[in-house]
Amino acid sequence: MRFQRFLLAGMLTTVLPLCAQNVTAAKPPMGWNSWNHFAGKVTDADVRGAADSLVSTGMRDAGYIYVNIDDTWQGKRDANGVIHSNEKFPNMKALADYVHSKGLKLGIYSSPGPQTCARYEGSEGHEAQDAKTYAEWGIDFLKYDMCSFGPEKEKYQAEHPNDPDAGKNFMIAAYKKMGDALKATGRPIVYSLCQYGVDDVWKWGPSVGASMWRTTDDITDDYGRMALIGFSQDGLARFAGPGHWNDPDMLEVGNGKMTSEEYRMHMTLWSMLASPLLAGNDLTKMSDVDKSILMNKDVIAIDQDALGKGATRLYPSGDFDVWSRPLTGGRVAVAIFNRAWGERHIPFNPADAGFKTGATIRDVWHGQDLGRKNGKFFSTVPKHGVALLILSK
Ligand code: GAL
């Protein structure tokens, strides 16, 4: 009896702290999402193809386990209000079973408003019912996109002119309604808020049960847009951590409109920020370079580091930008980004990252140990490229 009590106490001390945080996303979620490449055309076959490719390319084993269907899967509600998928997705439960059989998880998409961004059925007024349907299908991830709720929020604000927070609180309540509904299903479902970072979502996201929240408007497969979004994230790291993450939107690596250096910068910046890593390319047609960028183990390890502390800007210096984040074991990751239109030789001193007596340095993308550096040294960084270093004592 005493032993049993001892065992129970032991179990509780392990389980309780885990329950206190959202264990569905103890680390930034990794996977794939249909939107950036397939947009409104995505079908059941595309999703199965993505699942197959996650396995055959080695991406699943590198950590990419969520297969997320974005907008345009929804059909009509039946007489009881139950949502059904449309003809592009003939059997959602069968699709979930298929994805699960590959050791992967399935994600889906909806809106707190009456319609999604692509004008498909939203969840307003059906939150508990939809959450239950998702759980029955075997869904593991929900992206909840504000879209048509935006005008409702504005209308509500206009009706309450004396309360400057009325619209914000109205929106928070709508996101909480779905967060509570997901929790009530008893199924662990990653809850991903998509409302483009309005009203400082990072301050209230955890209170509605969110595992992650978009901090910006949409990314596109464009260097300028990627850099604008990524480098605007300074100051947000302190709001994220194990269980709840800042999300500067999905990856564009492999979609073809940036150079390899730019995609390397994109992957580095997102990993430095401890962002969710949701690939957005056609996984059935990946070049070896795309694979090497998305599957670099050391870069992924930075993103997934157990401390969960995203990067802050160490200093901007004209054409280049230096960010750092603490890692487990007293190590520090430093990314030296070259935002100039040509190659640059960029100086860096380990003392600037707290290593006053020098540091042992690993160059992550080149997979090289650079030995010990005490004092200023230079990295040669190509146009729109990055030197990613791990410093240790
Ligand atoms: C946008 C969202 C995109 C995508 C799209 C679907 O609002 O930011 O990531 O989900 O809607 O319609």
Compute the 3-state secondary structure of the chain and give helix, strand, coil in percent, each to the nearest 5: 40, 25, 35
Band (pLDDT 50/70/90 cuts) for residue 367 is very high
Q: What is the pLDDT of the chain when averaged over all its residues? A: 94
117 Cβ inside 6 Å of ligand 1: yes
Residue 279 confidence (pLDDT) above 80: yes
Band (pLDDT 50/70/90 cuts) for residue 316 is confident
200 is catalytic: no
Rounded to whole angstroms, the Cα distance separating 41 from 383 reads: 35
Q: Which atom of ligand 1 is nearest to the CA of 146?
A: 7
Neighbours of 8 (CB within 10 A): 10
| Per-residue pLDDT at 13 | 36
**Residue 154 neighbours by CB under 8 Å, 6+ apart:** 167
What pLDDT, in 10s, does the model give residues 75-107?
999 999 999 999 999 999 999 999 999 999 999
Q: Which atom of ligand 1 is nearest to the CA of 250?
A: 9
What pLDDT, in 10s, does the model give residues 174-214?
999 999 999 999 999 999 999 999 999 999 999 999 999 99
Neighbours of 96 (CB within 10 A): 21
Range 220-232 average pLDDT: 97
70 Cβ inside 6 Å of ligand 1: yes
Rounded to whole angstroms, the Cα distance separating 165 from 229 reads: 26
Rounded to whole angstroms, the Cα distance separating 226 from 217 reads: 11
If we measure between CA atoms, which residue out of 18, 39, 37 comes closest to residue 256?
Answer: 37
218 is catalytic: yes
**Which residue in 52, 180, 199, 218 is the catalytic one?**
218
CA-based radius of gyration for the chain: 22
What is residue 320's three-state secondary structure? strand
Residue 10 confidence (pLDDT) above 70: no
146 Cβ inside 6 Å of ligand 1: no
| Per-residue pLDDT at 240 | 98
Phi, psi of 320 (to 5 degrees): -125, 165
| Per-residue pLDDT at 318 | 75
Phi, psi of 178 (to 5 degrees): -70, -35
If we measure between CA atoms, which residue out of 123, 165, 169 comes closest to residue 144?
Answer: 123
CA distances in angstroms from 101 to 1, 30, 104, 138, 142, listed in the order given: 40, 18, 7, 12, 20
Q: Which atom of ligand 1 is nearest to the CA of 35?
A: 4
